[in-house]
Structure 1
């Protein structure tokens, strides 16, 4: 998962949203006969997690990166209820292929999906997702999880099955020690000073590492700078056209990112390096820091054979923002599951029951099996999870949502930034292209102000 939409997927979302406008105000043929999920009592809407479902078959779609995630839960659910759950792997590009299939009327009962506002928007606009309000497990979420994703216009559509990823800085402790760095940065300016110290002491080949050849990693250095503004309503203003990407807040963040290159703080092959090179550089001490997300840390962990002790000794994490140490939250499709309205009330109820089972009776086994950070207060995370990821997860309590989480559309900022570091776009052209695409996507879904 690359944590963003490519141009073809963005275009697909625009088509999906445009199609939904024609459905606005019309009844959904897959809705329950009562007309609204809210008309059904919570007790009836959320059946017992282990109630018998003999003969019921559910179709579960997942990506190549997430098809193993529901396996154990599905097997245990089948044993407990008598239902049959078939997990189908949708090939990459996952998001585009799912949207294409759904547009043709082929829908699953359950789907691994990125629970951000921009990625849920098309399905919500067409009233294709089951509402998960009043779910019995929501009150059991750990601090910050309920607000981290899965909600559009105050309605819950996705279950957060694990703690979402957080953007911040993963650093090599040996490099910091060589550079004489004893205190972690507390804001963006101090981060730049720390990077300059790594460079001046030659503690590593580069202070930062960028994987411009993979493109998707370029977004994080800009994104983390927006956390303070996000807490003050940045994305609400952008969503309504009251502020633009070309205005000072986002423009300054892009300028600051470009300035890191101008200061020589990045690797010399930043335009061609891949994300695998970035992970290796951090693990091997060739770079001091990467501004990244938890998914990339998993690549670092793989290089260490997932040895927690070795990872804890060498790699650390700290959140960063313009003025403070605020983490930026970006839930991935590996963090959440949604359920479609299919027109079959029995299967729809069984799908809700599956989610409820996952988040209750089946949750402890799931967390241990997948070695993921728990999203529930009553289930502890496995002791085998590296401390850097645990520290990142702590930021969910006080963090701010990313563009993907809070914006109504998700433009290709990362592609434009990759073009900038390759020298084919200026910082001003980056924000202009981003604004133009955002306005197009916002207009397609009928947003006011565009």
Structure 2
């Protein structure tokens, strides 16, 4: 699970020859002769429901996203006469997709994480269609257009749902028993709330905080949220150019702050081995007070609650958190967005753009209702059964900042190094050095200047 947050070195090695063509900013070095800027937006974006009898498209999906477009596909086929085949690519999805495309196997469409680090390889190889001036972009709700899919001013991905926000999901009943009446502000406020929960010695609460070191993927969030203000101030631009490193004060301090919470006994005793399922269960059961995570973990909690909105709203809340305040950090996932590939068949390429246009315009209200998700299009209402925690998460996007995955040119295995730290095999300094070394190696493979 969560392979979209784990860009691995082996995947980059598989595409290193293509990645070496990338410019310092991962911009596309090859002009797109069929771009909408050449042909005009009206011609480039086919009418959503125009007939496509006999046209067959293939869309690659992951195991955790293969049900999402089923109804959209069915509706599109009925409206246009086209055929869209959904092909599930085994996990690890990103690695397998990169390998297949490198060997020449290319779909018409695919779910893909719309971050700079994950789009870079395809852009370098000139494999993606440009989605500039898409008919729906001006109708995105606040913050969505900037939340992902754009690299160097060009849009390559369409966000079909709200991207997750790194923040704090908390048990309202635990807060009440601990006497916490105000939402914690900043890292110090968060730590103060955790200590207050611990000192309250509440029956049934085993730890104020919970971590999933056994699953690993969630460990990075507690570090990344501390970097929000720095990210607003250009942290990742400096890291991308080699002017700042993971071993320098800003990121190193965030890692050390995270480690100090374990040293103070604020986390679960089995933090090194606990799984994401354990974390979801602990928050729902009130065995812990707070977790720093993203929407997918909340979805596990919702399943435990049988998706009972009233029960979820009564028990689980959400607030964004940053070093100094309450700024959210956005990390789009592959199931949030769709890309269209260049295949050399202009008719199919246009049909792929038409499918995305249909999804985001003609069929979007139906899609949102079918999936029970927060709408990203103005004028399309979010269903009444969406829990308040997800509404609050989505609302924070308008004031958020991008994650490492969104803003850095490469995505090193920070989460694995942090899991090693939790399990005692790396110090905070070791984590920063290992992450920096891998980041530099990945950046160098892409031909990024400064490495």
| Superposition TM-score, scaled by structure 1 size | 0.96
Change (3 A) 1:449 1:27: closer
Pairwise CA distance, 1:10: 2.8
The answer to whether the 8 Å contact 2:211/2:268 transfers is yes
Asked if 1:217 is matched to 2:218, the reply is: yes
Inter-partner Cα distance in structure 2 for 1:26 and 1:145: 23
- Runs (5+) with no aligned partner, structure 2: none
Asked if 1:69 is matched to 2:68, the reply is: yes
The answer to whether the 8 Å contact 2:76/2:358 transfers is yes
Equivalent in the alignment of 2:279: 278
Pairs within 5 Å for 1:5-154:
5-6=5-6, 9-21=8-20, 34=33, 36-154=35-153
Change (3 A) 1:116 1:261: same
Change (3 A) 1:103 1:119: same
SS in 1 for 2:59: strand
Asked if 1:175 is matched to 2:174, the reply is: yes
Pairwise CA distance, 1:183: 1.1
SS in 2 for 1:291: strand
Deviations 1:87-141 (A, max 9, x none): 0111111111111111110011010011011010100111100000011111011
Deviations 1:152-199 (A, max 9, x none): 111000000011110100000111111111111111101101000111
Inter-partner Cα distance in structure 1 for 2:46 and 2:155: 18
**Alignment root-mean-square deviation, CA:** 1.6
* 4+ residue runs over 2 A deviation: 3-7, 17-28, 34-38
Pairs within 5 Å for 1:302-321:
302-321=303-322
Asked if 1:288 is matched to 2:307, the reply is: no
Inter-partner Cα distance in structure 2 for 1:401 and 1:27: 24
| Superposition TM-score, scaled by structure 2 size | 0.96
Deviations 1:265-284 (A, max 9, x none): 00000001100000000000
Change (3 A) 1:26 1:255: closer
Pairwise CA distance, 1:61: 0.5
Inter-partner Cα distance in structure 1 for 2:34 and 2:303: 49
Pairwise CA distance, 1:357: 0.3
Equivalent in the alignment of 1:2: 2
The answer to whether the 8 Å contact 2:410/2:442 transfers is yes
Inter-partner Cα distance in structure 1 for 2:19 and 2:263: 45
Deviations 1:52-90 (A, max 9, x none): 100000001100110111111110000110000010111
The answer to whether the 8 Å contact 1:327/1:395 transfers is yes
Pairs within 5 Å for 1:232-381:
232-381=233-382
Pairwise CA distance, 1:252: 0.5
SS in 2 for 1:216: coil
Inter-partner Cα distance in structure 2 for 1:4 and 1:57: 28
Asked if 1:410 is matched to 2:437, the reply is: no
The answer to whether the 8 Å contact 2:284/2:301 transfers is yes
Pairwise CA distance, 1:380: 1.2
Change (3 A) 1:175 1:150: same
The answer to whether the 8 Å contact 2:22/2:120 transfers is no
Inter-partner Cα distance in structure 2 for 1:319 and 1:3: 23
SS in 1 for 2:218: helix
SS in 1 for 2:168: strand
Change (3 A) 1:47 1:359: same
Asked if 1:443 is matched to 2:444, the reply is: yes
Inter-partner Cα distance in structure 2 for 1:325 and 1:20: 36
